Every structure is written in structure tokens, then in C-alpha cells.
Amino acid sequence: MSLNPEIEKRLQGAIKHFWRTRETQAQKQGTTSGSKDAGARSAVTGGAQMDGFINLVRDLLCECGLPKADVYCGKYAELPGWYRPEKRWDLLVVSDGRFLAGIEFKSQVGSFGNNCNNRTEEAIGSAADLWAAYREGAFKPSSRPWLGYLMLLDEAPGSLSAVRAREPHFNVFPEFKEASYAKRYEILLTKLVRERLYDSACFLMSSAADGAKGRYKEPTSELSFSNFVESLLARVIAVAKCREQP
């Protein structure tokens, strides 16, 4: 399903913001230290690259009637865990003491081999920790919350090339054989949703050159931004309407 033209324009703006912020952070770090490597490191650790996506989703929630005070981004966005005391989510919706939704916004540019497994472990671990806490009543009186995961991956030769899986003792599952890092992310996010660790996921790809113009790709319609926001808004709006009933 295609996006509303206005939302499409705003999503393109989030793509532009990501690449522009990344470039600005790298340039500032390089100017300060004179180190090219430090500039690249700054672009990874500087944060704020995903703010365009976070702000877009927050605005869509508020435009559907959710009070802005119920949406937490960065500040006061911690939730208790079961295996750790707390975790900070990128966006939370908490209304009248009820936990409605939590979303992670992640990206990867370069270092595909080093970071893909880390991102996978983070995504699985965060969801497992939260659902265990929910099972133990950490969010009472909340009903089952909605969880989402949005991933932006650099569209580059390193992410698109086939990758050989290491199988010294046992065979990997067939879908992973010769799968690129992009395909691995697609498989991961699809399985996370189908296993109900997350209610919806979005997978976007963009290169530095095309991203500067707001261009992006959606490798599979199942993980499209349209599906993602429709699922989120349907959940939050339904809860809000129920509470409006006398």
C-alpha cells in the first residue's frame, strides 16, 4: 500500500535528515581532532541521526489525537526490565499510567560484518526482556503493549553482497545461505514480527548519495513504513477511543 503523499514527503525528509546529520557530525569531529577515523567514529556515536524518524512517528501519533505529553522521546523513556533494572526506549507512549507502545529506531552504515549480529542480539534481547517484565506485572494495569522496530540500512556493496555463513559443526537454516546482510536484516525483522516479539517492523534502505535527495527503498512490502504506522496508529487510536466511552 502506498503512503499518503504528505507522509511520503515527511518520510523523505527523515531520510535526508539522517544523512545530513551524519555528515555534519563527521565533519565537526574531523575539524576538532584532525583525524579522519575519528570523524567516521563520530558519525556512528553522535546520535540524533534517527531523530527525523522519531519526530515523524511522534507527530503522526499526536495528529491522531494523542496528547503530546503522552509521547516520550529520549527523556523519561525508560522502562523496567526483567533481566536488567531498566532500558531506555527511543519512543514510548504512556497514557494515564498505562504503557501503550514502545519503539526502537536503529540504523547501520558500514561495518556490516561487525554490527549485524550485535543489532540482532539487541533486538531479540530487548523484546525478550520487556515481555518477561510484562508477564511479571511490571506494567500493571496496562494491557498488552504494542512494540515496533524500525531499521535503516546503508544500501552499499557491503550490505548487498552475498555472505558466506560459517558452518563448522552444523548447517545454518537454508534462508541464511549466501544471504547478504540486507537479506539477513529482512529475515530477522520478518521473524521478529511473525514470532510476535514485535507487533510490527519497518525495514528501509538508502545510500548516502540517494539519501541526500530523500530517496529510499523498501525491500519487502511486509516491512513497509505504511504497514508499520498503520499498525501503530490503529492500536493507539483504538485504546484512546475506548477510554473516551462514558
DSSP letter assigned to residue 218: -
Instruction: Give the Cα separation of 49 and 107 in Å (integer).
Output: 9
Phi then psi dihedrals of residue 98, to 5 deg: -115, 130
Cβ(105)–Cβ(122) below 8 Å: no
Q: Which residues of 61-76 are buried (b: 16+ CB within 10 A; e: fewer)?
A: beeeebeeebbbbeee
Instruction: Quote the pTM value.
Output: 0.89
Cell numbers describing residue 35: 583525524
CB atoms near residue 42 (< 10 Å): 20
Question: Which residue numbers in the chain have pLDDT < 50?
Answer: 31-46
Distance between CA 159 and CA 161 in Å, rounded? 6
What is the pLDDT, as a whole number, of residue 164? Answer: 92
227: which 3 cell numbers? 504497514
Backbone angles phi, psi at 217, to 5 degrees: -130, 150
The domains of the chain are located at 57-244
Please give the radius of gyration of the chain, using alpha carbons only, rounded to the nearest integer: 19
